């Protein structure tokens, strides 16, 4: 699981060799550590719209060092570019060129965040062009940044202003180390729901979360992060994984629930457990998943069916019962684990990719159905994450997979977990139906 190459190129004497040879030079990413500053330096706010001031106000409220301009050679930690009133591609140059002029002053682990509006909302071709242009510029910028810095965008629905609570939630996530492995992505704030943005150390306090597949790997990390954010944890896994599951639950003061998510009564048992023990269920994280890789030519029914049953059908069935149940909170959030394989496809994974693409379809349709309620459903699509599962990939393939991303390394389970925690809390703030990739801007599937 250890990324030996990453360690070697960050230590003498090989760091110089790597630089001279033009080899990929991944750096350790800036990850969230409780108590550390949100951003490693001043935050540059660029933009001229009225919404710009609202964003600056949010950042000031968080006691950040907010600047409209930088002194020459002054280092900074993040730039937020507000483009919420774009109507013409010609309006792009000012903000982007100004950003470019200071980009070399961005600290390692720095952030660039654009705030613009989705193309789909625009009717005028010029407006749509301008809005979509941000997409290309931002994704390219993400590939140019070095030193573990990332670039991501926030898209505001047409009725949403820059002071919406969802903007604060997304800004906090993207500025912080919690988004370390999220790069070149957009997060859409669909509504102005939610309360005023306020940084809280335990954003999920008082909420009860179910995490399936919690016994190990990414699931265990999701449990840890949700617990860190204040949630009560119900750790779910198959009975056979009970020993590790118990250890995970005991590590966070949660409860272990041994249930096979494919069982017909799985939803009932989860809901009953949550209702009896915690009063209700607020967050459902569908993390349980399996791979049974085979080229389609060699695929057998057992492999195909089991992957679909665990990764997709169980989520469909459980969601159906959850959303029909009064025990699932009226402001409940569902977060589903998809995969970049489900977006871009992956050789040998027709079954897996089918299941994960199916999850994305399910999330979008369910989100539409939830429109108008305070409930939400979103997905996280991890790319190459360093787990026991990916450790089994042959060495050469694994090395290639690691370096294929803009961050030139694999992500860690905690990166996925942070994204899940963000969606679990931002779900109540107008983020719905999103598929957030945690892939380090992997080239695959772009």
Q: Does 445 bind another protein (CB under 8 A)?
A: no
C-alpha angle with apex 199: 195 to 203, nearest 5 degrees?
75
Query: How many angstroms separate the CA atoms of 370 and 433, rounded?
Result: 9
Which of 38, 80, 86, 241 is close enough to bind another protein by CB under 8 A?
Answer: 241
Owner of token pair 């150390």: 201
How far out from the chain centre does Cα 78 lie? 19
Measured from the CB of residue 278, what is the shortest distance to another protein in angstroms? 7
Query: How many angstroms separate the CA atoms of 241 and 222, rounded?
Result: 17
The tokens for 387 are: 């787990």
Q: Does 290 bind another protein (CB under 8 A)?
A: no
Range list of H helices, 294-394: 301-308, 314-324, 341-344, 350-370
Which of 77, 254, 413, 430 is close enough to bind another protein by CB under 8 A?
Answer: 254
Q: Does 327 bind another protein (CB under 8 A)?
A: no
Measured from the CB of residue 238, what is the shortest distance to another protein in angstroms? 9
Number of residues that bind another protein (CB under 8 A): 25
Which of 33, 35, 243, 372 is close enough to bind another protein by CB under 8 A?
Answer: 243
**Could you give the string, one character per residue 269-288, with x where binding to another protein holds by CB under 8 A and - elsewhere?**
-------xxxx---------
Measured from the CB of residue 445, what is the shortest distance to another protein in angstroms? 37
Of 181-189, 247-255, 374-382, 428-436, which part binds another protein (CB under 8 A)?
247-255
Which of 93, 101, 250, 330 is close enough to bind another protein by CB under 8 A?
Answer: 250
Q: Does 258 bind another protein (CB under 8 A)?
A: yes
C-alpha angle with apex 408: 402 to 411, nearest 5 degrees?
60
Is 239 or 361 the residue whose CB approaches another protein more closely?
239
Is 130 or 220 the residue whose CB approaches another protein more closely?
220
Q: Does 256 bind another protein (CB under 8 A)?
A: yes
Is 193 or 249 the residue whose CB approaches another protein more closely?
249
Query: How many angstroms separate the CA atoms of 249 and 266, rounded?
Result: 19
Query: How many angstroms separate the CA atoms of 152 and 371, rounded?
Result: 25
The tokens for 4 are: 């030996």
Query: How many angstroms separate the CA atoms of 140 and 138, rounded?
Result: 5
Q: Does 259 bind another protein (CB under 8 A)?
A: yes
Of 233-241, 360-368, 390-398, 426-434, which part binds another protein (CB under 8 A)?
233-241
Contacts of 112 (CB under 8 A, 6+ apart): 78, 79, 81, 99, 106, 138, 141, 142, 145, 149, 150, 151, 152
352 is catalytic: yes
Q: Does 87 bind another protein (CB under 8 A)?
A: no
- Beta bridge partners of residue 46, listed in sequence order: 81
**Where does this chain bind another protein (CB under 8 A)?**
235, 239-243, 245-247, 249-250, 253-260, 263, 265, 276-279
The catalytic site residues sit at 352
């Amino acid at each position: 699981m250890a990324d030996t190459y990453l360690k070697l190129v960050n230590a003498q004497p090989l760091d110089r060799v790597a630089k001279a040879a033009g080899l990929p030079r991944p750096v350790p990413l800036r990850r969230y550590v409780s108590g550390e500053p949100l951003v490693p330096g001043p935050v540059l706010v660029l933009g001229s719209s009225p919404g710009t001031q609202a964003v600056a106000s949010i950042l000031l409220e968080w006691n950040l060092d907010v600047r409209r301009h930088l002194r020459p050679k002054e280092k900074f930690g993040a730039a937020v570019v507000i483009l919420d009133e774009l109507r013409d591609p010609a309006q792009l140059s000012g903000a982007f060129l100004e950003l470019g002029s200071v980009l070399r002053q961005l600290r390692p682990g720095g952030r660039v965040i654009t705030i613009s509006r989705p193309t789909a909302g625009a009717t005028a071709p010029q407006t749509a062009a301008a809005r979509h242009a941000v997409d290309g510029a931002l994704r390219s910028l993400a590939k140019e940044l070095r030193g573990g810095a990332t670039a991501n965008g926030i898209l505001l629905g047409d009725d949403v202003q820059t002071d919406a609570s969802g903007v604060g939630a997304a800004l906090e996530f993207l500025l912080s180390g919690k988004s370390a492995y999220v790069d070149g992505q957009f997060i859409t704030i669909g509504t102005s729901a939610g309360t005023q943005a306020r940084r809280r150390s335990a954003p999920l306090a008082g909420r009860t979360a179910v995490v399936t597949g919690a016994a190990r790997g990414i699931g265990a990390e999701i449990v840890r992060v949700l617990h860190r954010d204040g949630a009560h944890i119900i750790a779910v896994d198959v009975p056979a994984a009970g020993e590790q599951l118990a250890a995970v639950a005991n590590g966070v003061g949660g409860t272990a629930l041994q249930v096979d998510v494919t069982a017909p009564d799985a939803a009932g048992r989860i809901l009953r457990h949550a209702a009896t023990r915690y009063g209700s269920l607020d967050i459902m994280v569908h993390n349980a998943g399996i791979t049974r890789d085979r080229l389609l030519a060699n695929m057998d029914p057992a492999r195909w069916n089991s992957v679909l049953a665990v990764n997709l059908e169980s989520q469909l069935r459980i969601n159906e019962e959850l959303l029909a149940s009064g025990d699932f909170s009226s402001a409940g959030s569902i977060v589903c684990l998809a995969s970049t394989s489900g977006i871009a496809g992956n050789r040998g994974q027709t079954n897996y990719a089918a299941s994960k693409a199916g999850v994305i379809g399910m999330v979008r349709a369910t989100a539409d159905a939830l429109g108008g309620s305070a409930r939400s459903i979103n997905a996280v699509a991890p790319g190459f994450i360093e787990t026991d599962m990916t450790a089994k990939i042959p060495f050469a393939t694994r090395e290639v997979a690691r370096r294929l991303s803009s961050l030139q390394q694999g992500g860690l389970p905690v990166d996925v977990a942070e994204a899940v925690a963000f969606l679990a809390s931002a779900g109540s703030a107008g983020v719905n139906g999103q598929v957030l990739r945690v892939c380090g801007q992997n080239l695959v599937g772009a």
